[in-house]
Amino acid sequence: MLDVIIIGAGPIGLACGIEAEKKKARYLILDKGTLVNSLYNYPLNMTFFSTSDKLEIGNVPFISHNAKPTRSEALEYYRRVASSWKLNVKLYEEITTIDQHKSFFKVSTSKSRYSAKNIVIATGFYDRPFLLNVPGEELPKVKHYYSEPHPYFGMEIAVVGSANSAVDVALETYRKGAKKVTMIIREKTIGDNVKYWARPDILNRIEEGSIRAFFEAEITKITPTHVFFRDKKSMHELPNDFVLAMTGYEPNFELLESLGVQFHNDEFKTPVYNADSMESNVEGVYLAGVVCGGYKTNKWFIENSREHAPIAITHIASKL
């Protein structure tokens, strides 16, 4: 019988494991993918907004070559954190069911079964992309993750979205030799929250015609050779090799619902939890990290949600 099972081996899940180590609690961290799986899926040359010190956990120094660390530096850092603390992590082990009993939980995975008195949900949101829900989305040409521009050299690209990731993809594929880059944007303009150095760049490229942009537009169908979409003016048929759908991501609401976690009646589907303990409305079920914001995925980051770990684990330890 474990004291706590931590679901998610991202930075916040690892921070929870560190706190459990400090409290000498019996714990296990489970993840369906690799260590810090969300960060692993970031673009290869991505640079964080934050400085390295704001990404540190467990008093392990994060040293980077520049003021803002890169993806590869972050992966190296969190590997070092897991090794330094000798965290009890099981990777590539997807949870299949969680059965609730009076005073504990039975967790079944793709590889084993476990029992624990408490559960911490630290699953983040980057593993679940928002789908376009249009015919043809299942085609191999449609990508919800972007790693690097090389595969798109000489290709006709449609980029869906107007936030940071879509802008980055459009600019990079254009500069690395994509034959034609077209942005299909549901909003009226490029988002105001786009990075201050990238927003004027993309606006200038659109104005000069290097990158085409259709605003207030929505894809209706994707075929192996074309993308069909409509805007306020008309229907459009665009020759196309790849669709890069940078449409954002969402938390694993199904997991929360299966455990009985309730949600506030707001547009963001914010889960119910006590900020003083991080415990949800379900006794023994705790939330930590980005999942606490529901659809408002820009509310919590590593920098401000790493503090959830000591709050949740301290409350769990007080009950043991």
Cβ(46)–Cβ(71) below 8 Å? yes
Q: Is 137 inside a domain boundary?
A: no
Closest by CA position to 251, among listed 127, 153, 113, 67: 127
Closest by CA position to 10, among listed 288, 278, 318: 288
Largest CA distance in the chain: 65
State pTM to two decimals: 0.87
For residues 225 and 300, membership in a common domain is answered with: no
Query: Could you report the per-residue pLDDT of 197-214, keeping only the tens digit for each?
Result: 889 999 999 999 999 999
The amino acid present at 58, given as its one-letter code, is G
For residues 24 and 117, membership in a common domain is answered with: yes
Beta strands in 66-164 (DSSP E): 89-90, 95-100, 105-109, 113-121, 142-143, 156-160
pLDDT at 153 over 80: yes
pLDDT at 67 over 90: no
| Cα distance between residue 250 and residue 291, in whole Å | 9
Query: Could you report the per-residue pLDDT of 21-57, keeping only the tens digit for each?
Result: 999 999 999 999 999 998 998 888 888 888 899 999 9
For residues 9 and 121, membership in a common domain is answered with: yes
For residues 199 and 224, membership in a common domain is answered with: yes
Collapse the DSSP code of 302 into the 3-class scheme (helix H, G, I; strand E, B; otherwise coil) and give the result: helix
Instruction: Assign 134 a pLDDT band (cuts: 50, 70, 90).
Output: very high
Which of 205, 230, 245 is the last residue in one of the domains? 245
The amino acid present at 268, given as its one-letter code, is F
Q: Is 25 inside a domain boundary?
A: yes
Instruction: Tell me the mean pLDDT in the region 236-260.
Output: 93
Instruction: Tell me the mean pLDDT in the region 85-112.
Output: 96
For residues 163 and 87, membership in a common domain is answered with: no
For residues 123 and 149, membership in a common domain is answered with: no
Closest by CA position to 229, among listed 130, 136, 128, 129: 136
Which of 196, 219, 245 is the last residue in one of the domains? 245
For residues 123 and 147, membership in a common domain is answered with: no
Which of 191, 212, 245 is the last residue in one of the domains? 245
Closest by CA position to 247, among listed 320, 142, 174: 142
Closest by CA position to 246, among listed 42, 35, 18, 89: 42
Instruction: Tell me the mean pLDDT in the region 222-235.
Output: 95
For residues 236 and 259, membership in a common domain is answered with: no
Least confident of 118-132, 156-170, 262-276: 118-132
Query: Domain range holding 146?
Result: 142-245
Alpha helices, DSSP H, located in the chain: 11-22, 37-40, 71-84, 164-175, 199-208, 253-258, 302-305, 308-319
pLDDT at 127 over 80: no
For residues 19 and 66, membership in a common domain is answered with: yes
Tokens matching residue 295: 């659809």
pLDDT score for 215: 96
For residues 12 and 120, membership in a common domain is answered with: yes
CATH (domain of 235):
3.50.50.60
Instruction: Assign 305 a pLDDT band (cuts: 50, 70, 90).
Output: very high
Q: Is 220 inside a domain boundary?
A: yes
Domain count along the chain: 2
Q: Is 46 inside a domain boundary?
A: yes
Collapse the DSSP code of 211 into the 3-class scheme (helix H, G, I; strand E, B; otherwise coil) and give the result: coil
